[in-house]
Amino acid sequence: MGKSLKIASWNVNGLRAVFKKGELDNFLAAYDPDVLLLQETKAKAEQLPAELTSHDAYFQFYHSAVKPGYAGTAIWVKKAGLEKVEFLAGMPDYDDNEGRVAQIRLSGLRIFGVYFPNGGKSAAAWQGKLEFYELFLAYVNELRRAGETVIFAGDVNCCHEEIDIARPRENDGKIGFHPEERRRLSEWVANGWVDVWRQSFPEKAEVYSWWSFRAGARRRNVGWRIDYFFVDREFFRKIERIAYLTEQPGSDHCPVVMEITL
């Protein structure tokens, strides 16, 4: 049996806010991930308290947006037991000025934490979202062809199937559940990238990762599963477990945790 690696992904909707609430520390104490992928950090490293940027247990990499208080990703990697960590940002042919793609090379893996665009601001933003999906697929396909083992996770900002959303009929055609973006996710699957949760639990419904702050949506579990882990089809056998931590407060998203065998 090989060594296990626990990877967590969480859209924190403001890293300073979730830290101030104490929920980041609570999460780390309860789940102790080896790698933590954060999205929507909404801060540059120099704006963060020292407890975050000089953490005792984790190396940290921040890929922030140029625009203050917007988007951004980060990756934290445990200092103990993990060696030769290389932090990277962005992807080819894409101006990542919103800090959307953070990645590491670690233990023979290329691990991505990605904050995919929402696409709802304008027609140009919508087209940009669709292009981002396509660019990202081309990039990870190229890395795989070059012999790299790729894991990607994060806020994909799309529910793939009806089972992934509490109100499919009411939201059909809306941003986040539009046929064109859903088709892009189907292309990922057709290219051999496995949605780890759905592959593991094909019939399990009412498991979501984002809830509106309005009308008690989280309490009533009127949610959207828009946060994912994807791996290559051949790598799926190395998955030990995956879970949506729906009871974890601090953000309008919940964390997703996946454990693999190295």
- Own/partner long-range contacts of 160-164 (Cβ < 8 Å, ≥24 apart): 160/185, 160/186, 160/195, 160/198, 160/225, 161/198, 163/198, 163/203, 163/205, 164/198, 164/208, 164/224, 164/225, 164/226
- Residue 159 forms beta bridges with which residues? none
| Tokens (6 digits) for 245 | 């931590």
Q: What is the pTM of this model?
A: 0.97
User: What's the pLDDT score for residue 1?
Assistant: 53
Going residue by residue through the chain, which has 262 residues, state the pLDDT in tens, using 9 for 90 and above.
578 999 999 999 999 999 999 999 999 999 999 999 999 999 999 999 988 888 999 999 999 999 999 999 999 999 987 768 999 999 999 999 999 999 999 988 999 999 999 999 999 999 999 999 999 999 999 999 999 999 999 999 999 999 999 999 999 999 999 999 999 999 999 999 999 999 999 999 999 999 999 999 999 999 999 999 999 999 999 999 999 999 999 999 999 999 999 8
At residue 248, φ and ψ (nearest 5 deg) are: -75, 115
H-helix or E-strand spanning residue 243:
strand 239-244
| Tokens (6 digits) for 228 | 């994912």
C-alpha distances out from residue 70 to 15, 22, 157, Å: 11, 21, 16
Nearest-angstrom CA–CA distance, 80 and 252: 31
Residue among 196, 186, 187 at smallest CA distance from 231: 196
User: What's the pLDDT score for residue 210?
Assistant: 98
Give the length of the chain. 262
User: Catalytic residue positions?
Assistant: 155
Collapsing DSSP to helix, strand or coil, 210 comes out as strand
Domains of the chain: 4-261 (3.60.10.10)
